[in-house]
Structure 1
């Protein structure tokens, strides 16, 4: 399967190998590289409405994004929440997160969507129609910006 073929699954559809590769990527980047000390395994991965999107190089997940559904919208009608955006260090700059974001917008573009972007990556999300709102804030020692995209 080419590296630009996005895979999308719910928790129950994930194989143990896929789950391991997703969790390895997330912990390698968030804990080891970025030194984030927030809870990574928050039980939201297992919810029926959560969708897991990734790109793989062979059996290895090299880019990943999680999409949650919140019953109560955090901002306007933003029930879908994009998060855990991660690209393996040796694949950064290849546009992999953009490939996954394009698929997510195709899948959920009719719904309001939210995300909490690390400050430096705000321009990436703006390309997909997300607009910043509120003030910058610190989360896990990294500056973040809340962003919203109206459903179309």
Structure 2
């Protein structure tokens, strides 16, 4: 298994296809939520993922500079393939994302829009709820923020 991080321009067509395939598989099919995934933020993001030996994307997120989704840097489209869930891949993905943002962009805070059922998971990574619950594509979400200690 291999970790990768690339800007949009440096992604190969095959890598982009595998990333979008996983996002569609989970967010559209598994969660039964038809929505437009391609939102013009991918081009401004750093894409971080764990690939299996066969190249399949097992865990993925995109890292967004400040001012794209929120005034702070943010992490979005966090997803783990069903075959990798429970392996710790999602936790390692988030730890690597946080480290990248803090080390590369010298960010002192990171904001996310999290599905409500994952609140405890994100709290274990230092995020705190910063909004009331809201519906996004009929799924309960909350905003959360992590301030660097």
User: Normalising to structure 1: TM-score of the pair?
Assistant: 0.87
Q: What is the rounded CA distance, in whole Å, between the counterparts of 2:59 and 2:68 in structure 1?
A: 28
RMSD over aligned Cα atoms: 1.6
Structure 1's consecutive aligned runs of 4 or more residues displaced over 4 angstroms after TM superposition are none
Residue 52 (1) aligns with residue 69 (2): no
The Cα of 1:135 is off from its aligned counterpart by 0.7
Residue 61 (1) aligns with residue 57 (2): yes
Residue deviations 1:82-116 (CA, integer Å, cap 9, x gap): 11011111211111111111111211234111101
Residue 94 (1) aligns with residue 87 (2): yes
User: Normalising to structure 2: TM-score of the pair?
Assistant: 0.89
Q: What is the rounded CA distance, in whole Å, between the counterparts of 1:30 and 1:72 in structure 2?
A: 21
Give the gaps of 5 or more residues in structure 2: none
- 1:1-152 alignment runs, 5 A limit: 2=1, 5-47=2-44, 50-57=45-52, 58-71=54-67, 74=70, 78-109=71-102, 110-111=106-107, 112-152=109-149
1:52 is paired with a residue whose SS is strand
Structure with more contact order per residue of length (Cα contacts < 8 Å, sep ≥ 6): 1
User: Does the 8 Å CA contact 2:41/2:68 hold for their aligned counterparts?
Assistant: no
